[in-house]
């Protein structure tokens, strides 16, 4: 029972997202000849916000907390706890922003219903992934996220770049799914179970080699989903070719979905003591991934000339920061829960500031001002509020005080130091300094540079449209996370500590 209701009530956020996707298909079926873009956006946004409200309600009432205990469903294949609810809140928030922004971005699209339903069904898979307690459910949920994502990247069927990006994403994604599934099969062969807790308690005597290969292959699958080096090469192509709202969705929500797999599966199925005894040091593997990913992502972003491609490489760099949440874990580490909780809090802050940044790019695409830094010159004169919002996103992504991104990075790096990973925290700090260079280029172009010609910005329309409102709301949420960061980090650390 959950608050006096049936246990399945714990899955209410995922059920609401699934119902919203079906409702969107129903609306389109009832009015097939009408381009009901507004009704689609309203239904999708309301459903996403309802899922977010259900997540907050479940968390506030203590469902899945360490005191009340997790809610297990379907023969322990699903586990609803604070960790899963925390990530579900990220998915629902980003989904709502993207669906609202889609109202204007796809206003002249042939069939906007497909966009809204695909995003919502992908979010449903993410919500299921957050509470998966079986490797079988993990794989099925990952495919529920991946299949709509492939279509969304190639959504602009008349755009060669979008179709090419979608095809590349599909081919690489299919390969990574096969590798991940083969890794799962090897883990099952070594342990005889797919339930995470049963895997952790299984006898692996004489099978450590098989288990080790399986874990390595699963790390590869997670690295692909989080766009970590060397499995990152699909991300810049997909983010650049996809519609900007889709890029926002993939780089924020989909990336967080990959991290919930890493956080839950590797700590619950392959606990630190088991990894050490089996000589399968997956923590070291993630430490190497984190170091290389944040470094390559930031230095590659620094040489880009297109804002959207810069943000794509920037998202790779932030994947490196978040990987510290599993890279800085040690057996009996004093700050294991703190470092993973800090990574979760960073992903929440990142969800708002990165989504907002990509939605600003979407707005610039609709205005037709171009893609490069030079094309953004002087844009604040025609869109001052949106430009200020973009400056908030850039400074927060760079980790400058007093923005929320500074505090999320500070807690993350401090927790890594407390666990003995000074070198990893120091490398993260150096990369944050590097990122300030390319983020400040956007702000410089917006506020300090002059347009190439007096008529360069004549097409800019600053009406208070849904896309404009989504950008401003993301900026407000980023700022409001500053005074509310205390409860956020406490909730995240409590959820992470329950895993150890």
For the cut 60, the answer to whether the pLDDT of residue 305 exceeds it is yes
For the cut 90, the answer to whether the pLDDT of residue 280 exceeds it is no
Better-predicted residue by pLDDT, 172 or 205: 172
Q: What is the mean pLDDT of residues 171-196?
A: 90
Q: Give the pLDDT confidence score for residue 207 in this predicted structure.
A: 63
Q: Give the pLDDT confidence score for residue 457 in this predicted structure.
A: 58
> What pTM was estimated for this model as a whole?
0.91
What's the sign of the alpha-carbon dihedral 376, 380, 386, 390? positive
Residue with tokens 């959207």: 308
For the cut 60, the answer to whether the pLDDT of residue 464 exceeds it is no
Q: Give the pLDDT confidence score for residue 71 in this predicted structure.
A: 83
Q: Give the pLDDT confidence score for residue 141 in this predicted structure.
A: 94
Q: What is the mean pLDDT of residues 21-29?
A: 84
Q: Give the pLDDT confidence score for residue 200 in this predicted structure.
A: 85
Q: Give the pLDDT confidence score for residue 109 in this predicted structure.
A: 63
- Mean confidence (pLDDT) of the chain: 86
For the cut 70, the answer to whether the pLDDT of residue 456 exceeds it is no
313-348 residue pLDDT tens: 999 999 999 999 899 888 877 778 889 999 999 999
342-381 residue pLDDT tens: 999 999 999 999 999 999 998 888 887 878 888 888 888 8
218-264 residue pLDDT tens: 999 899 888 888 888 888 888 888 888 899 999 899 889 999 999 99
The gap from C-alpha 157 to its chain's centroid, in whole angstroms, comes to 25
Q: Give the pLDDT confidence score for residue 162 in this predicted structure.
A: 83
């Amino acid at each position: 029972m959950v608050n006096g209701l049936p246990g399945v009530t714990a899955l209410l956020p995922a059920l609401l997202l699934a119902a919203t996707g079906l409702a969107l298909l129903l609306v389109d079926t009832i009015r097939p000849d009408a381009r009901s873009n507004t009704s689609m956006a309203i239904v999708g946004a309301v459903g996403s916000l309802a899922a977010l409200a259900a997540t907050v309600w479940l968390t506030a009432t203590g469902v899945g907390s360490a005191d009340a205990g997790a809610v297990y469903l379907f023969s322990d294949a699903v586990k609803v706890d604070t960790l899963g609810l925390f990530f579900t809140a990220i998915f629902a928030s980003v989904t709502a922003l993207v669906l609202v922004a889609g109202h204007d971005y796809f206003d002249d699209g042939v069939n906007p219903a497909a966009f809204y339903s695909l995003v919502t069904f992908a979010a449903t898979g993410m919500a299921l992934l957050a509470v998966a307690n079986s490797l079988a459910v993990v794989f099925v949920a990952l495919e529920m996220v991946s299949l709509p994502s492939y279509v969304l990247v190639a959504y602009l069927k008349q755009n060669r770049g979008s179709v090419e990006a979608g095809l590349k994403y599909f081919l690489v994604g299919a390969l990574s799914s096969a590798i991940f599934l083969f890794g799962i099969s090897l883990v099952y062969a070594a342990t005889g179970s797919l339930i995470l807790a049963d895997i952790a308690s299984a006898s692996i005597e004489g099978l450590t080699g098989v288990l080790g290969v399986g874990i390595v292959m699963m790390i590869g699958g997670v690295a692909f989903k989080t766009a970590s080096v060397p499995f990152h090469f699909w991300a810049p192509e997909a983010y650049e070719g996809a519609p900007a709202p889709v890029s926002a969705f993939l780089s924020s929500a989909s990336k967080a979905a990959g991290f919930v797999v890493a956080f839950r599966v590797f700590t619950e199925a392959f606990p630190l003591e088991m990894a050490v005894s089996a000589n399968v040091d997956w923590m070291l593997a993630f430490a190497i991934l984190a170091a290389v990913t944040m470094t390559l992502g930031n230095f590659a972003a620094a040489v880009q000339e297109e804002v959207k491609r810069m943000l794509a490489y920037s998202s790779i760099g932030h994947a490196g920061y978040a990987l510290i949440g599993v890279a800085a874990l040690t057996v009996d580490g004093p700050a294991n829960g703190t470092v993973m909780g800090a990574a979760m809090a960073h992903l929440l802050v990142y969800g708002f500031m990165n989504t907002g940044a990509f939605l600003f790019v979407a707005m610039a695409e609709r205005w037709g001002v171009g893609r490069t830094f030079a094309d953004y010159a002087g844009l604040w004169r025609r869109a001052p509020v949106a430009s200020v919002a973009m400056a908030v996103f850039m400074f927060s992504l760079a980790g400058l005080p007093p923005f929320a991104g500074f505090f999320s990075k500070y807690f993350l790096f401090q927790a890594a130091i407390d666990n003995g990973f000074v070198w990893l925290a120091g490398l993260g700090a150096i990369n944050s300094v590097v990122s300030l260079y390319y983020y400040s280029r956007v702000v410089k172009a917006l506020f300090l540079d002059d347009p190439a010609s007096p008529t360069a910005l004549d097409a800019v329309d600053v009406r208070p449209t849904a896309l404009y409102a989504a950008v401003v709301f993301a900026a407000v949420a980023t700022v409001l996370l500053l005074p509310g960061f205390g409860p956020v980090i406490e909730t995240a650390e409590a959820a992470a500590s329950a895993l150890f």
